Protein backbone atom coordinates (compact mmCIF):
# COMPACT_ATOMS: atom_id res chain seq x y z
CA UNK A 1 0.00 0.00 0.00
CA UNK A 2 1.43 3.38 -1.04
CA UNK A 3 0.85 6.51 1.00
CA UNK A 4 1.60 10.19 0.51
CA UNK A 5 4.42 11.66 2.56
CA UNK A 6 2.69 13.48 5.42
CA UNK A 7 3.85 16.29 7.69
CA UNK A 8 2.48 18.00 10.79
CA UNK A 9 3.50 19.95 13.87
CA UNK A 10 3.89 17.37 16.63
CA UNK A 11 4.31 19.70 19.61
CA UNK A 12 1.71 22.03 21.23
CA UNK A 13 1.27 25.42 19.62
CA UNK A 14 2.63 28.37 21.61
CA UNK A 15 5.94 29.79 22.71
CA UNK A 16 8.58 27.37 23.93
CA UNK A 17 12.20 26.34 23.62
CA UNK A 18 11.68 23.98 20.69
CA UNK A 19 8.95 22.69 18.39
CA UNK A 20 8.96 19.60 16.18
CA UNK A 21 7.69 19.19 12.64
CA UNK A 22 7.43 15.53 11.72
CA UNK A 23 7.42 13.91 8.26
CA UNK A 24 6.59 10.28 7.48
CA UNK A 25 6.60 8.50 4.14
CA UNK A 26 8.75 7.36 1.25
CA UNK A 27 9.75 10.91 0.25
CA UNK A 28 10.46 12.22 3.78
CA UNK A 29 14.24 12.31 3.47
CA UNK A 30 14.30 13.64 -0.10
CA UNK A 31 11.84 16.44 0.79
CA UNK A 32 13.97 17.40 3.80
CA UNK A 33 17.07 17.26 1.59
CA UNK A 34 15.60 19.92 -0.72
CA UNK A 35 15.44 22.50 2.09
CA UNK A 36 18.27 21.54 4.49
CA UNK A 37 21.95 22.58 4.49
CA UNK A 38 24.09 21.03 7.21
CA UNK A 39 27.53 22.02 8.44
CA UNK A 40 28.99 19.15 6.38
CA UNK A 41 28.65 18.53 2.65
CA UNK A 42 26.68 15.30 3.22
CA UNK A 43 23.09 15.13 2.03
CA UNK A 44 20.51 13.67 4.42
CA UNK A 45 19.99 10.68 2.10
CA UNK A 46 23.66 9.76 2.72
CA UNK A 47 23.66 9.93 6.53
CA UNK A 48 23.22 6.87 8.77
CA UNK A 49 19.77 6.13 10.14
CA UNK A 50 18.76 7.35 13.60
CA UNK A 51 21.16 10.31 13.57
CA UNK A 52 20.60 14.01 14.19
CA UNK A 53 22.17 16.87 12.21
CA UNK A 54 22.63 20.59 12.78
CA UNK A 55 22.09 23.12 10.01
CA UNK A 56 19.65 25.58 8.41
CA UNK A 57 16.47 25.34 6.42
CA UNK A 58 16.33 27.51 3.32
CA UNK A 59 13.75 28.29 0.65
CA UNK A 60 14.97 26.72 -2.65
CA UNK A 61 13.12 29.42 -4.63
CA UNK A 62 15.18 32.36 -3.33
CA UNK A 63 17.90 30.77 -1.17
CA UNK A 64 16.69 32.68 1.91
CA UNK A 65 17.35 31.08 5.30
CA UNK A 66 14.11 30.11 7.03
CA UNK A 67 15.26 28.58 10.35
CA UNK A 68 18.18 27.18 12.33
CA UNK A 69 17.34 23.54 13.05
CA UNK A 70 18.35 20.08 14.20
CA UNK A 71 17.11 17.35 11.84
CA UNK A 72 16.66 13.70 12.90
CA UNK A 73 16.71 11.04 10.19
CA UNK A 74 15.13 7.63 10.90
CA UNK A 75 14.76 5.05 8.15
CA UNK A 76 12.00 2.46 8.16
CA UNK A 77 11.08 -0.12 9.16
CA UNK A 78 12.60 0.64 12.59
CA UNK A 79 10.38 3.68 13.18
CA UNK A 80 7.00 4.39 14.75
CA UNK A 81 5.18 4.21 11.38
CA UNK A 82 7.58 1.66 9.83
CA UNK A 83 8.19 4.34 7.14
CA UNK A 84 11.08 6.79 6.75
CA UNK A 85 10.62 9.56 9.32
CA UNK A 86 12.27 12.97 9.57
CA UNK A 87 11.80 15.18 12.63
CA UNK A 88 12.79 18.84 12.37
CA UNK A 89 13.55 20.52 15.71
CA UNK A 90 13.12 24.28 15.34
CA UNK A 91 12.55 27.23 17.68
CA UNK A 92 9.27 27.04 19.51
CA UNK A 93 7.60 30.24 18.37
CA UNK A 94 4.27 30.15 16.54
CA UNK A 95 5.67 31.99 13.50
CA UNK A 96 8.83 29.89 13.22
CA UNK A 97 7.16 26.48 13.44
CA UNK A 98 4.45 27.46 10.94
CA UNK A 99 7.11 28.72 8.50
CA UNK A 100 8.91 25.38 8.74
CA UNK A 101 5.71 23.41 8.18
CA UNK A 102 4.74 25.58 5.22
CA UNK A 103 8.18 25.13 3.67
CA UNK A 104 7.87 21.35 3.94
CA UNK A 105 4.36 21.38 2.45
CA UNK A 106 5.51 23.59 -0.42
CA UNK A 107 8.20 21.05 -1.30
CA UNK A 108 6.11 17.91 -1.65
CA UNK A 109 4.57 16.81 1.66
CA UNK A 110 0.84 16.86 2.41
CA UNK A 111 -0.66 17.93 5.74
CA UNK A 112 -1.37 14.95 7.99
CA UNK A 113 -4.89 14.27 9.17
CA UNK A 114 -5.54 13.97 12.93
CA UNK A 115 -3.96 10.76 14.19
CA UNK A 116 -2.54 9.81 10.78
CA UNK A 117 0.95 8.94 12.07
CA UNK A 118 -0.53 6.47 14.56
CA UNK A 119 -2.99 5.22 11.94
CA UNK A 120 -0.06 4.40 9.65
CA UNK A 121 1.66 2.55 12.49
CA UNK A 122 -1.52 0.45 12.75
CA UNK A 123 -2.00 -0.06 9.01
CA UNK A 124 1.67 -0.98 8.56
CA UNK A 125 1.45 -3.61 11.33
CA UNK A 126 3.63 -1.76 13.83
CA UNK A 127 0.87 -1.80 16.48
CA UNK A 128 -2.66 -3.17 16.71
CA UNK A 129 -5.78 -1.08 17.24
CA UNK A 130 -5.90 -1.40 21.04
CA UNK A 131 -2.26 -0.25 21.25
CA UNK A 132 -3.02 2.67 18.91
CA UNK A 133 -5.91 3.81 21.11
CA UNK A 134 -3.63 3.55 24.15
CA UNK A 135 -1.32 6.16 22.60
CA UNK A 136 -4.07 8.74 23.05
CA UNK A 137 -4.77 7.46 26.58
CA UNK A 138 -1.08 8.00 27.38
CA UNK A 139 -1.21 11.59 26.13
CA UNK A 140 -4.39 12.33 28.10
CA UNK A 141 -3.40 10.51 31.31
CA UNK A 142 -4.05 12.67 34.37
CA UNK A 143 -2.30 10.52 37.00
CA UNK A 144 0.76 8.26 37.18
CA UNK A 145 -1.49 5.23 37.56
CA UNK A 146 -3.55 6.12 34.50
CA UNK A 147 -0.28 6.51 32.60
CA UNK A 148 0.90 3.07 33.78
CA UNK A 149 -2.32 1.49 32.50
CA UNK A 150 -1.85 3.17 29.11
CA UNK A 151 1.80 2.08 28.95
CA UNK A 152 0.77 -1.50 29.66
CA UNK A 153 -1.66 -1.41 26.74
CA UNK A 154 0.90 0.20 24.40
CA UNK A 155 3.28 -2.63 25.28
CA UNK A 156 0.57 -5.07 24.17
CA UNK A 157 -0.59 -6.48 27.50
CA UNK A 158 -4.28 -6.44 26.53
CA UNK A 159 -3.48 -7.49 22.94
CA UNK A 160 -1.67 -10.63 24.13
CA UNK A 161 -4.65 -11.68 26.24
CA UNK A 162 -7.10 -11.07 23.39
CA UNK A 163 -4.91 -12.95 20.89
CA UNK A 164 -4.61 -15.87 23.35
CA UNK A 165 -8.42 -16.03 23.71
CA UNK A 166 -8.94 -15.85 19.94
CA UNK A 167 -6.43 -18.65 19.42
CA UNK A 168 -8.25 -20.84 21.96
CA UNK A 169 -11.53 -20.25 20.12
CA UNK A 170 -9.91 -20.81 16.72
CA UNK A 171 -8.45 -24.16 17.76
CA UNK A 172 -11.84 -25.22 19.09
CA UNK A 173 -13.57 -24.16 15.86
CA UNK A 174 -10.95 -26.00 13.80
CA UNK A 175 -11.54 -29.16 15.85
CA UNK A 176 -15.30 -28.92 15.23
CA UNK A 177 -14.77 -28.34 11.48
CA UNK A 178 -12.49 -31.40 11.18
CA UNK A 179 -15.13 -33.54 12.91
CA UNK A 180 -17.84 -32.26 10.55
CA UNK A 181 -15.90 -32.33 7.26
CA UNK A 182 -13.72 -35.41 7.85
CA UNK A 183 -15.65 -37.81 10.11
CA UNK A 184 -13.60 -40.74 8.74
CA UNK A 185 -10.41 -39.44 10.50
CA UNK A 186 -10.25 -41.81 13.43
CA UNK A 187 -7.09 -40.27 14.88
CA UNK A 188 -8.91 -36.95 15.54
CA UNK A 189 -10.76 -36.99 18.86
CA UNK A 190 -14.46 -36.28 18.54
CA UNK A 191 -15.54 -32.92 19.97
CA UNK A 192 -18.27 -33.73 22.51
CA UNK A 193 -20.68 -31.36 24.23
CA UNK A 194 -18.75 -31.93 27.46
CA UNK A 195 -15.41 -30.97 25.87
CA UNK A 196 -16.96 -27.92 24.22
CA UNK A 197 -18.51 -26.85 27.54
CA UNK A 198 -15.06 -26.95 29.17
CA UNK A 199 -13.68 -24.69 26.41
CA UNK A 200 -16.54 -22.17 26.54
CA UNK A 201 -16.40 -22.05 30.36
CA UNK A 202 -12.69 -21.23 30.23
CA UNK A 203 -13.22 -18.46 27.64
CA UNK A 204 -16.20 -17.10 29.61
CA UNK A 205 -14.08 -16.94 32.77
CA UNK A 206 -11.24 -15.08 30.96
CA UNK A 207 -13.58 -12.48 29.43
CA UNK A 208 -15.40 -11.96 32.72
CA UNK A 209 -12.06 -11.46 34.47
CA UNK A 210 -11.15 -8.70 32.02
CA UNK A 211 -14.53 -7.02 32.48
CA UNK A 212 -14.10 -7.02 36.26
CA UNK A 213 -11.28 -4.50 35.83
CA UNK A 214 -13.34 -2.28 33.53
CA UNK A 215 -15.00 -0.07 36.15
CA UNK A 216 -11.66 0.84 37.73
CA UNK A 217 -9.93 1.06 34.35
CA UNK A 218 -12.54 3.42 32.95
CA UNK A 219 -12.23 5.65 36.02
CA UNK A 220 -8.44 5.78 35.58
CA UNK A 221 -8.88 6.67 31.90
CA UNK A 222 -11.77 9.14 32.03
CA UNK A 223 -11.75 10.38 35.61
CA UNK A 224 -14.37 10.03 38.31
CA UNK A 225 -17.16 12.56 37.84
CA UNK A 226 -17.39 13.97 41.37
CA UNK A 227 -20.00 16.54 42.31
CA UNK A 228 -19.85 18.67 45.45
CA UNK A 229 -23.38 19.42 46.68
CA UNK A 230 -24.93 21.12 49.66
CA UNK A 231 -27.02 24.11 50.54
CA UNK A 232 -25.43 27.55 50.20
CA UNK A 233 -22.52 28.60 52.42
CA UNK A 234 -21.63 25.18 53.86
CA UNK A 235 -18.09 25.22 52.38
CA UNK A 236 -18.45 23.61 48.93
CA UNK A 237 -16.12 26.06 47.18
CA UNK A 238 -13.64 25.82 50.06
CA UNK A 239 -13.64 22.04 49.60
CA UNK A 240 -12.92 22.43 45.87
CA UNK A 241 -10.04 24.79 46.65
CA UNK A 242 -8.65 22.38 49.27
CA UNK A 243 -8.68 19.40 46.90
CA UNK A 244 -7.25 21.38 43.99
CA UNK A 245 -4.72 23.14 46.28
CA UNK A 246 -5.54 26.39 44.54
CA UNK A 247 -8.10 29.19 44.92
CA UNK A 248 -10.22 28.30 41.91
CA UNK A 249 -13.59 29.19 43.40
CA UNK A 250 -14.65 32.44 45.08
CA UNK A 251 -15.33 31.93 48.79
CA UNK A 252 -17.48 34.39 50.79
CA UNK A 253 -19.95 34.29 53.65
CA UNK A 254 -22.70 35.41 51.25
CA UNK A 255 -25.07 32.59 50.23
CA UNK A 256 -25.37 32.14 46.45
CA UNK A 257 -21.82 33.26 45.59
CA UNK A 258 -21.32 30.27 43.26
CA UNK A 259 -23.75 30.83 40.38
CA UNK A 260 -22.64 28.07 37.98
CA UNK A 261 -20.94 24.67 37.91
CA UNK A 262 -17.14 24.98 38.28
CA UNK A 263 -15.11 22.06 36.83
CA UNK A 264 -11.55 21.06 37.76
CA UNK A 265 -9.43 17.90 37.46
CA UNK A 266 -7.59 16.74 40.57
CA UNK A 267 -5.43 13.72 41.44
CA UNK A 268 -6.57 12.01 44.66
CA UNK A 269 -4.35 9.08 45.66
CA UNK A 270 -3.86 8.20 42.00
CA UNK A 271 -7.57 8.51 41.20
CA UNK A 272 -8.35 11.27 38.68
CA UNK A 273 -11.41 13.24 39.81
CA UNK A 274 -13.37 15.47 37.48
CA UNK A 275 -14.45 17.73 40.31
CA UNK A 276 -17.57 19.88 39.95
CA UNK A 277 -18.49 22.57 42.47
CA UNK A 278 -22.18 23.38 42.16
CA UNK A 279 -24.38 26.31 43.08
CA UNK A 280 -25.97 25.78 46.50
CA UNK A 281 -29.26 23.96 46.03
CA UNK A 282 -32.09 26.02 47.50
CA UNK A 283 -35.25 27.83 46.49
CA UNK A 284 -34.36 31.35 45.31
CA UNK A 285 -35.94 34.32 43.56
CA UNK A 286 -32.64 35.33 41.93
CA UNK A 287 -32.96 34.36 38.23
CA UNK A 288 -29.21 33.80 37.69
CA UNK A 289 -28.83 31.77 40.87
CA UNK A 290 -31.94 29.75 39.96
CA UNK A 291 -30.34 28.75 36.63
CA UNK A 292 -27.22 27.65 38.56
CA UNK A 293 -29.36 25.58 40.94
CA UNK A 294 -31.06 23.85 37.99
CA UNK A 295 -27.66 23.03 36.47
CA UNK A 296 -26.58 21.64 39.85
CA UNK A 297 -29.60 19.32 39.90
CA UNK A 298 -28.76 18.18 36.36
CA UNK A 299 -25.13 17.23 37.10
CA UNK A 300 -26.34 15.24 40.13
CA UNK A 301 -27.88 12.70 37.74
CA UNK A 302 -24.61 12.22 35.83
CA UNK A 303 -22.22 11.94 38.80
CA UNK A 304 -20.13 8.88 39.74
CA UNK A 305 -19.53 10.23 43.25
CA UNK A 306 -21.27 12.86 45.38
CA UNK A 307 -19.61 14.82 48.18
CA UNK A 308 -22.52 16.06 50.30
CA UNK A 309 -21.34 18.94 52.49
CA UNK A 310 -23.10 19.91 55.73
CA UNK A 311 -22.42 22.76 58.17
CA UNK A 312 -21.50 21.51 61.64
CA UNK A 313 -22.30 24.90 63.18
CA UNK A 314 -25.94 24.90 61.98
CA UNK A 315 -28.82 22.57 62.86
CA UNK A 316 -29.93 20.26 60.03
CA UNK A 317 -32.43 21.97 57.74
CA UNK A 318 -35.21 20.69 55.50
CA UNK A 319 -32.93 21.48 52.53
CA UNK A 320 -30.22 19.22 54.00
CA UNK A 321 -32.70 16.38 54.50
CA UNK A 322 -34.03 16.79 50.95
CA UNK A 323 -30.49 16.43 49.60
CA UNK A 324 -30.13 13.09 51.39
CA UNK A 325 -33.37 11.96 49.74
CA UNK A 326 -32.13 13.11 46.32
CA UNK A 327 -28.98 10.95 46.47
CA UNK A 328 -30.49 7.66 47.63
CA UNK A 329 -28.83 4.74 45.83
CA UNK A 330 -25.78 6.76 44.72
CA UNK A 331 -22.15 6.68 45.88
CA UNK A 332 -21.97 9.42 48.51
CA UNK A 333 -19.46 10.64 51.06
CA UNK A 334 -20.96 12.96 53.70
CA UNK A 335 -18.70 15.80 54.81
CA UNK A 336 -19.51 17.62 58.04
CA UNK A 337 -17.61 20.88 57.68
CA UNK A 338 -16.80 23.84 59.97
CA UNK A 339 -15.96 21.66 62.97
CA UNK A 340 -13.80 24.53 64.24
CA UNK A 341 -17.05 26.30 65.23
CA UNK A 342 -19.42 25.31 68.09
CA UNK A 343 -21.41 22.24 67.00
CA UNK A 344 -25.12 22.71 66.34
CA UNK A 345 -25.77 19.82 63.95
CA UNK A 346 -27.48 16.66 65.25
CA UNK A 347 -24.93 13.96 64.42
CA UNK A 348 -27.27 11.10 65.37
CA UNK A 349 -29.70 12.33 62.73
CA UNK A 350 -26.86 12.72 60.19
CA UNK A 351 -25.80 9.11 60.75
CA UNK A 352 -29.41 7.98 60.40
CA UNK A 353 -29.81 9.84 57.09
CA UNK A 354 -26.39 8.74 55.80
CA UNK A 355 -27.17 5.03 56.35
CA UNK A 356 -23.93 3.23 55.38
CA UNK A 357 -22.30 6.19 53.67
CA UNK A 358 -18.92 7.34 55.01
CA UNK A 359 -19.02 10.48 57.18
CA UNK A 360 -15.92 12.70 57.33
CA UNK A 361 -15.53 15.63 59.76
CA UNK A 362 -13.56 18.56 58.33
CA UNK A 363 -12.48 22.07 59.12
CA UNK A 364 -11.47 23.43 55.74
CA UNK A 365 -10.51 26.72 57.38
CA UNK A 366 -7.90 24.89 59.48
CA UNK A 367 -7.13 22.31 56.76
CA UNK A 368 -8.33 19.34 58.83
CA UNK A 369 -9.93 16.19 57.45
CA UNK A 370 -8.73 16.39 53.82
CA UNK A 371 -6.39 13.37 54.17
CA UNK A 372 -9.25 11.30 55.59
CA UNK A 373 -11.51 12.41 52.73
CA UNK A 374 -8.94 11.48 50.08
CA UNK A 375 -8.48 8.06 51.69
CA UNK A 376 -12.26 7.53 51.75
CA UNK A 377 -12.55 8.36 48.03
CA UNK A 378 -9.76 5.92 47.09
CA UNK A 379 -11.24 3.21 49.35
CA UNK A 380 -14.73 3.60 47.94
CA UNK A 381 -13.70 2.79 44.36
CA UNK A 382 -10.37 0.97 44.68
CA UNK A 383 -10.41 -0.58 48.16
CA UNK A 384 -7.77 1.95 49.17
CA UNK A 385 -5.22 1.12 46.49
CA UNK A 386 -4.80 0.54 42.78
CA UNK A 387 -2.55 -2.25 41.56
CA UNK A 388 -1.47 -1.36 38.04
CA UNK A 389 1.84 -3.19 37.95
CA UNK A 390 0.76 -6.70 36.94
CA UNK A 391 -2.90 -6.12 36.12
CA UNK A 392 -4.39 -5.66 32.68
CA UNK A 393 -7.05 -3.00 33.07
CA UNK A 394 -9.70 -2.57 30.40
CA UNK A 395 -10.32 1.16 30.31
CA UNK A 396 -11.58 1.97 26.81
CA UNK A 397 -15.38 2.24 26.38
CA UNK A 398 -15.21 0.59 22.94
CA UNK A 399 -13.27 -2.36 24.34
CA UNK A 400 -15.68 -2.73 27.27
CA UNK A 401 -18.71 -2.75 24.94
CA UNK A 402 -17.11 -5.39 22.68
CA UNK A 403 -16.12 -7.56 25.66
CA UNK A 404 -19.70 -7.39 26.97
CA UNK A 405 -20.99 -8.49 23.55
CA UNK A 406 -18.42 -11.30 23.43
CA UNK A 407 -19.45 -12.40 26.94
CA UNK A 408 -23.11 -12.50 25.86
CA UNK A 409 -22.17 -14.50 22.75
CA UNK A 410 -20.15 -17.10 24.69
CA UNK A 411 -23.00 -17.37 27.23
CA UNK A 412 -25.39 -18.16 24.35
CA UNK A 413 -22.96 -20.84 23.15
CA UNK A 414 -22.85 -22.36 26.65
CA UNK A 415 -26.64 -22.25 26.91
CA UNK A 416 -26.88 -24.04 23.55
CA UNK A 417 -24.53 -26.77 24.79
CA UNK A 418 -26.63 -27.24 27.93
CA UNK A 419 -29.76 -27.59 25.76
CA UNK A 420 -28.06 -30.23 23.61
CA UNK A 421 -28.12 -28.14 20.43
CA UNK A 422 -25.91 -29.67 17.68
CA UNK A 423 -22.28 -28.58 17.89
CA UNK A 424 -22.23 -27.16 14.36
CA UNK A 425 -24.98 -24.71 15.44
CA UNK A 426 -23.18 -23.80 18.69
CA UNK A 427 -20.08 -22.92 16.69
CA UNK A 428 -21.95 -19.93 15.19
CA UNK A 429 -21.90 -18.22 18.60
CA UNK A 430 -18.27 -19.23 19.08
CA UNK A 431 -17.37 -17.67 15.73
CA UNK A 432 -19.20 -14.48 16.71
CA UNK A 433 -17.19 -14.33 19.95
CA UNK A 434 -13.97 -14.70 17.96
CA UNK A 435 -14.99 -11.86 15.62
CA UNK A 436 -15.96 -9.50 18.46
CA UNK A 437 -12.61 -10.03 20.20
CA UNK A 438 -10.91 -9.37 16.87
CA UNK A 439 -12.58 -5.95 16.68
CA UNK A 440 -10.72 -4.91 19.86
CA UNK A 441 -7.31 -5.35 18.25
CA UNK A 442 -8.43 -4.36 14.75
CA UNK A 443 -8.32 -7.77 13.06
CA UNK A 444 -12.00 -7.70 12.11
CA UNK A 445 -13.15 -4.09 11.93
CA UNK A 446 -14.73 -1.83 9.32
CA UNK A 447 -12.56 0.82 7.65
CA UNK A 448 -15.03 3.63 8.49
CA UNK A 449 -14.69 2.85 12.21
CA UNK A 450 -10.89 2.99 11.92
CA UNK A 451 -11.16 6.45 10.31
CA UNK A 452 -13.52 7.61 13.07
CA UNK A 453 -11.24 6.37 15.86
CA UNK A 454 -8.10 8.05 14.51
CA UNK A 455 -9.93 11.32 13.80
CA UNK A 456 -10.09 11.84 17.58
CA UNK A 457 -6.29 12.02 17.85
CA UNK A 458 -4.29 15.24 17.88
CA UNK A 459 -2.97 16.45 14.52
CA UNK A 460 0.74 15.58 14.93
CA UNK A 461 0.15 12.12 16.41
pLDDT tens digits, residue range 233-253?
788 878 888 887 654 433 334
> Which is higher by pLDDT, 292 or 323?
323
* Strands, sheet with 6-9, edge to edge from the N-terminal-most edge strand: 36-38, 51-58, 65-74, 85-91, 18-24, 6-9, 110-111
Q: What is the pLDDT of residues 156-213, one digit of tens each?
A: 888 899 999 999 988 888 877 776 655 555 555 667 788 888 989 999 999 998 888 7
294 exposed, middle or buried (CB, 10 Å; 0-12, 13-18, 19+)? exposed
> Which is higher by pLDDT, 390 or 6?
6
pLDDT confidence of residue 450: 65
254 exposed, middle or buried (CB, 10 Å; 0-12, 13-18, 19+)? exposed
Measured distance CA(28)–CA(288) in Å, rounded = 56
pLDDT confidence of residue 355: 85
Nearest of 286, 326, 285, 321 to residue 303 by alpha carbon: 326
Neighbours of 34 (CB within 10 A): 18
* pLDDT of 115 over the 60 cut: yes
Nearest of 227, 253, 239 to residue 335 by alpha carbon: 239
Contacts of residue 214, defined as CB under 8 A and 6 or more positions apart, other chains included, come to 393, 394, 395, 400, 403
Which range, 148-152, 337-341, 421-425, has the best average confidence (pLDDT)?
Answer: 337-341
Measured distance CA(315)–CA(322) in Å, rounded = 14
For the chain, give the mean pLDDT.
82
pTM more than 0.75: no
Q: What is the pLDDT of residues 132-141, one digit of tens each?
A: 888 888 877 7
Measured distance CA(70)–CA(221) in Å, rounded = 35
Q: What is the pLDDT of residues 71-84, one digit of tens each?
A: 999 999 999 999 99
Domains in the chain, please, with CATH? 6-112 (3.30.1360.120), 141-213+394-443 (1.20.120.430), 223-382 (3.40.50.300)
Measured distance CA(346)–CA(354) in Å, rounded = 12
Q: Which band of pLDDT confidence, cut at 50, 70 and 90, is reported for residue 262?
A: low
Amino acid sequence: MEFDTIAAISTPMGEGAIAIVRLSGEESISIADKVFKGITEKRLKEVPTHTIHYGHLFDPKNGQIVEEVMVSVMRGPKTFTKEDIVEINCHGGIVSVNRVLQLILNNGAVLAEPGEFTKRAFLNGRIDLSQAEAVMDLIRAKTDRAMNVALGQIEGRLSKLIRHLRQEILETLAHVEVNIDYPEYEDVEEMTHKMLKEKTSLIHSEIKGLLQTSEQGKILREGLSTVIIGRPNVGKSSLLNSLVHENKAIVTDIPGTTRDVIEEYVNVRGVPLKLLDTAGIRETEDIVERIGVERSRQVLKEADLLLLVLNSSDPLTVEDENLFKAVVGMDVIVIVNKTDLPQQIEMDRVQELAHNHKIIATSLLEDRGIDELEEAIASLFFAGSIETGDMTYVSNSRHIALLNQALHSIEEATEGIDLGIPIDIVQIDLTRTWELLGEIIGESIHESLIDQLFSQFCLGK
